[in-house]
């Protein structure tokens, strides 16, 4: 304690105190003595004040110009955003028109029951009927995992998040169990649908989905539910529940309604025509 008390009482080193006392006794001060030195100091102060004044004046003059340029940039961004929104709306309208024409072409191609069947199986027509409702959700205390893309890691299930691969197995299991039409969160699946991941989001045909993931499958409800839960993919889903806390519920429904797919575009396949023999 004596050391601390001494430091507090003598915060200034004795040598500094003695030097200050000698300088004071000699009549020395920090101000310049000669006229030349005083004029130099005055000129330096005037120059410093001049620089500060000019800088302030320039900043004041430039402020309205900067504000004007900023507002012009904001207006330009707003204009381009509005234009992009209009173009996006036009694209969606044209896509809907193309899809409607495709569905109409499938319905009216000969008017046969075969055409209606093809339309339903391809996803071009909205359908309804009995089936199952399967809801899959992340664990209650799910985390986003580590790394830039946790879905690329083998232990992503440890985070309690539902992966794109999990949904792929669920959907494939329902198809294998006898589903005739499947949708996820209102997004109808077709033979060309893709379930992928982008960061922490699951995409179906490049459209992001938000958990919980509601999967509707039209088919023989009880049989579909039993075959799915007893199959390899249903057991895989149960393992996710037991080991990682992922939540899943399945229920048999008497009437499910699935929308048509947004677009059914075939770019490579061609219809095969049988040539008759004479």
Q: Please give the pLDDT value at position 147.
A: 43
pLDDT at 277 over 80: no
The pLDDT tens digits for 159-206 are 688 999 999 999 999 999 999 999 999 989 988 888 998 887 899 988
So what's the pLDDT on residue 230?
95
State the DSSP string of the chain: -HHHHHHHHT-S-HHHHHHHHHHHHTT--SS--SHHHHHHHHHHHHHHHHHHHHHHHHHHHHHHHHHHHHHHHHHHHHHHHHHHHHHHHHHHHHHHHHHHHHHHHHHHSTT-HHHHHHHHHHT-S-EEEEEEEEEEE--TT----SSS-GGGSTTGGGGTPPPHHHHHHHHHHHHHTT-SEEEETTEE--TT--EEEETTEEEETTEEE-SSEEEEEES-HHHHHHHHHHSHHHHHHHHHHHHH--EEEEEEEEEEEEPPPS----SS-----PPP--
Q: Is the overall model pTM greater than 0.75, yes or no?
A: no
Which pLDDT does position 68 carry in this prediction?
A: 79
Q: What is the pLDDT of residues 34-84, one digit of tens each?
A: 777 777 878 888 888 888 888 877 777 777 777 778 888 998 999 899 898
Q: Given this model, what pLDDT does residue 26 score?
A: 61
Position 96 scores a pLDDT of 75
**pLDDT top residue among 248 and 109:** 248
Say whether pLDDT at 89 is over 50.
yes
Question: Tens of pLDDT along 214-264?
Answer: 999 999 999 999 999 999 999 999 999 999 899 999 999 999 999 888 766
């Amino acid at each position: 304690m004596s050391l601390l008390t001494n430091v507090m009482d003598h915060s200034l080193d004795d040598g500094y105190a003695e030097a200050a006392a000698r300088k004071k006794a000699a009549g020395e001060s920090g101000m310049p003595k000669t006229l030349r030195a005083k004029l130099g100091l005055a000129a330096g102060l005037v120059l410093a004040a001049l620089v500060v004044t000019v800088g302030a004046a320039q900043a004041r003059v430039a402020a309205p110009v900067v504000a004007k340029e900023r507002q012009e940039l904001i207006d330009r961004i707003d204009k381009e955003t509005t234009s992009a929104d209009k173009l996006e709306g036009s694209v969606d309208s044209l896509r809907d028109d193309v899809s409607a024409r495709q569905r109409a072409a499938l319905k009216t191609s000969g008017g046969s029951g075969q055409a209606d069947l093809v339309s339903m199986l391809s996803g071009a027509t909205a359908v309804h009927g009995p089936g199952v409702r399967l809801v899959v959700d992340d664990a209650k205390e799910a985390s986003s995992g580590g790394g830039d893309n946790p879905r690329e890691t083998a232990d992503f299930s440890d985070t309690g998040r539902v992966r794109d691969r999990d949904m792929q197995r669920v959907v494939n299991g329902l198809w294998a169990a006898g589903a005739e039409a499947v949708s996820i969160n209102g997004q109808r699946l077709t033979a060309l649908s893709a379930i992928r991941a982008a960061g922490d989001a699951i995409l179906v045909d490049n459209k992001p989905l938000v958990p919980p993931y509601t999967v509707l499958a039209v088919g023989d409800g009880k049989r579909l539910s039993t075959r799915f839960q007893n199959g390899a993919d249903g057991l895989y889903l149960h393992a996710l529940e037991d080991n990682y806390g992922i939540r899943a519920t399945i229920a048999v429904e008497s009437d499910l309604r699935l929308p048509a797919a947004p677009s059914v575009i075939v770019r490579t396949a061609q219809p095969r025509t049988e040539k008759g023999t004479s």
